[in-house]
DNA sequence: ACTATATACGACAAATATAATCGTATATAA
DNA sequence: TTATATACGATTATATTTGTCGTATATAGT
């Protein structure tokens, strides 16, 4: 439990790679080959990051991705939520159909844990954890 | 991602229930019925907590579980690790066979996130989140 | 002593979530 | 015009989680 997904792992790897190669345009194939990451998954992951302007994409041959200035100042919480949705240790806070709604005695504890984790991730940027 | 398991959810519910009924012995069936939790899973979960002295078990008819003094002072990290093993957002830190070992560029970031989360959970007790 | 009911524990099956693949469309440099 | 890159939806495969089943052991009550 409390594991990140491969998607997030791949995104972290890609972002660090892009940061270390800011002068050139890096394609999905490049990163995929360098770290042994399935191409299509990495592609879709970078597409998500591109639509949030964390990276910038360039189509066509010689195309690829580039880090943007936004990367460094992006918080872990933003980063995770772009890729995986709301930060919460239980689904019931964002979906309907919570099993225990009428006899639930852990709403407060769960909320406190959620708040603590969100607070932690909101105060850590990608720059912070990189160095 | 970053979700707790049902086991942990059930354990939290059970513990809160035991804390609110410290005067009586509560059986698995009682809790199972009250919150709609599968009996066998809850049983095994409480067995784990019992072997760590978070709760005390009593066999035989009229038997059941009781909260111990240890509950309140137990940290979230201890609690989670009793039920689910080491706190880490990726498996590779506790298992061998990490895919990216030779070309890994996210060891430092992952470590920092792990440390932050462990630090957070080590400084939160079950008493803290209950109130 | 016997019975009913509780915890204890391991093996298995079902359900769910995640990871990976496939197919197609679009943009663009050469 | 062609080759190569991103973009995106649908589907399959895999892994994990969740739940069930079967059996053993302890003990209170009769
Ligand atoms: S209401 Fe969803 S956890 Fe209690
Ligand atoms: S070595 Fe396992 S994440 Fe890098």
* Segment B63-104, tens digit of pLDDT: 999 999 999 999 999 999 999 999 999 987 655 556 665 678
CB contact under 8 A, B105 and A80: no
User: Is residue B45 assigned to a domain?
Assistant: yes
**Pocket of ligand 2 contains residue B92 by CB under 6 Å:** yes
Alpha helices, H only, A52-131: 70-73, 76-84, 107-122, 126-130
Rounded Cα gap, residues B27 and B50, in angstroms = 13
Residue nearest to ligand 1 atom 1, measured at CA = A101
User: In chain B, what residues touch A20 (CB-CB under 8 Å)?
Assistant: 105
Nucleotide nearest to A4 (CA to C1'): C18
**Pocket of ligand 2 contains residue B88 by CB under 6 Å:** no
Do residues B42 and B9 make contact, with C-beta atoms less than 8 angstroms apart? no
Residue A33: which residues within 8 A CB-CB, separation 6 or more? none
Tell me how crowded residue A44 is: count the other CB atoms within 10 A of its CB. Answer: 12
| Through-space separation of residue A43 CA and nucleotide C12 C1' in angstroms | 39
What's the Rg (C-alpha) of chain B?
A: 17
Nucleotide nearest to A29 (CA to C1'): D5
Measuring CA to CA, how many Å separate B52 from each of A17, A22, B45, B56? 44, 51, 11, 9
**A42, HSE (Cβ side, Cα atoms, 13 Å):** 22
Measuring CA to CA, how many Å separate B61 from each of A82, A117, B58, B65? 52, 42, 9, 12
Distance A35 CA to ligand 2 centre (A): 11
User: Is residue A11 assigned to a domain?
Assistant: yes
Q: How many domains does chain B fold into?
A: 1
Question: Over 80: is that where the pLDDT of A103 sits?
Answer: no
Q: How far is CA A130 from the centre of its chain?
A: 14
User: Is residue B71 assigned to a domain?
Assistant: yes
Q: Give the strand pairing for A64-67 and A55-58.
A: antiparallel
Residue B96: which residues within 8 A CB-CB, separation 6 or more? none
Q: How far is CA B16 from the centre of its chain?
A: 12
Return the number of CB contacts < 8 Å for A and B: 116
pTM: 0.94
CATH number at residue A115: 1.10.10.10
User: Is residue B130 assigned to a domain?
Assistant: no
Over residues B23-59, the pLDDT tens digits come to: 999 999 999 999 999 999 999 999 999 999 999 999 9
User: Is residue B113 assigned to a domain?
Assistant: yes
Q: Which residue of B has its CA nearest to A91?
A: B3
User: Is residue A129 assigned to a domain?
Assistant: no
CB contact under 8 A, B110 and A76: no
What's the Rg (C-alpha) of chain A?
A: 17
User: Which two tokens mark A25?
Assistant: 């345009």
Q: Any idea what DSSP says for residue B52?
A: T
Do residues B125 and B75 make contact, with C-beta atoms less than 8 angstroms apart? yes
CA distance to partner chain A, nearest, from residue B108 (Å) = 7
User: Is residue A128 assigned to a domain?
Assistant: no
- What's the mean pLDDT in B118-125? 97
Mean pLDDT of chain B: 92
Domain extent, residue B98, equals: 6-122
User: Which two tokens mark A122?
Assistant: 């909101």
Over residues A8-61, the pLDDT tens digits come to: 999 999 999 999 999 999 999 999 999 999 999 999 999 999 999 999 999 999
Rounded Cα gap, residues B35 and B128, in angstroms = 23
User: Is residue B115 assigned to a domain?
Assistant: yes
Question: Over 60: is that where the pLDDT of A101 sits?
Answer: no
Handedness of CA B107, B108, B110, B115 (dihedral sign): positive
């Amino acid at each position: 439990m409390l594991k990140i997904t491969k998607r997030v792992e791949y995104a972290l790897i890609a972002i660090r790679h892009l940061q270390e190669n800011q002068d050139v345009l890096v394609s999905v194939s490049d990163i995929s080959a360098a770290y042994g990451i399935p191409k299509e998954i990495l592609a879709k992951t970078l597409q998500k990051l591109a639509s949030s302007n964390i990276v910038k994409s360039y189509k066509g041959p010689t195309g690829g991705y580039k880090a943007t200035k936004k990367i460094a100042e992006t918080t872990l919480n933003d980063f995770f939520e772009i890729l995986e949705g709301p930060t919460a240790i239980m689904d019931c806070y964002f979906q309907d159909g919570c099993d225990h709604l009428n006899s639930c005695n852990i709403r407060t504890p769960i909320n406190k844990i959620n708040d603590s984790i969100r607070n932690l991730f909101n105060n850590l940027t990608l720059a912070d954890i990189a160095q």
